[in-house]
Structure 1
């Protein structure tokens, strides 16, 4: 009997759940709904499982994308440090562009922190 018949999952779902476990660092079980299906089957079963980039590379790219969106994953100090660090590897012009993107997020975060402290 195949794994698919035993678990009731497609090989893609099994691969996706296994990859989710590797990425998140804990065992993943199957979940309900289309959103979970697309996440497990497509994002992790296909995209994260492709050759060409390591898990580390994909995590760094994701971190860069999240940072650019200003989602609060990093402190203002960490964001500024990333800009300085990347200037040496991506070049000062590219680092400056990143700094121009990150700068407003840092300023908003610091302003919100000051406001919260004052209301505190």
Structure 2
């Protein structure tokens, strides 16, 4: 659970449902408890890999979650995220790149709103 908060920001794990499905249990225990916790790559390095892989899927919703985590943890600036969007357009195609942009921009708007409060 602590790695979830480390990846997605303080308090993220508190939003998980109390009644956990087997899939959610394995995600928490294995993916975050073992894989994201391995020392050879930083959370920021792993996030870049996830953003790249997710970009190829064209999933704005999943990109937004990663970008929100990156912003919550001060891993990337808005400028760096936007530069990643531009770079990814050429590797994942313009349609998928547009979805990456949509997810990043949604995360930036949400982050900006939180900072103004």
- Please report the TM-score for the alignment, with normalisation by the length of structure 1: 0.51
The 1:83–1:41 alpha-carbon spacing in structure 2 relative to 1, beyond 3 Å, is closer
Larger-Rg structure: 1
Matched, 1:82 2:66: no
The 1:106–1:20 alpha-carbon spacing in structure 2 relative to 1, beyond 3 Å, is closer
RMSD, aligned CA: 3.1
Shift of 1:51: 1.4
User: SS in structure 2 opposite 1:42?
Assistant: helix
Shift of 1:39: 0.8
Shift of 1:83: 4.0
User: SS in structure 2 opposite 1:46?
Assistant: helix
Q: For structure 2, which runs of at least 5 residues remain unmatched after alignment?
A: 65-81, 100-117
- 4+ long deviations beyond 4 Å: 77-80
Shift of 1:52: 0.5
Shift of 1:26: 2.3
For 1:70, the equivalent position in structure 2 comes to 58
- Please report the TM-score for the alignment, with normalisation by the length of structure 2: 0.53
Q: Is the 8 A contact 2:55 2:96 kept in 1?
A: no
CA distance in 1 between partners of 2:97 and 2:37 (Å): 34
The 1:79–1:53 alpha-carbon spacing in structure 2 relative to 1, beyond 3 Å, is closer
Higher relative contact order (CA 8 A, sep 6+): 2
Size of the aligned set, in residue pairs, is 77
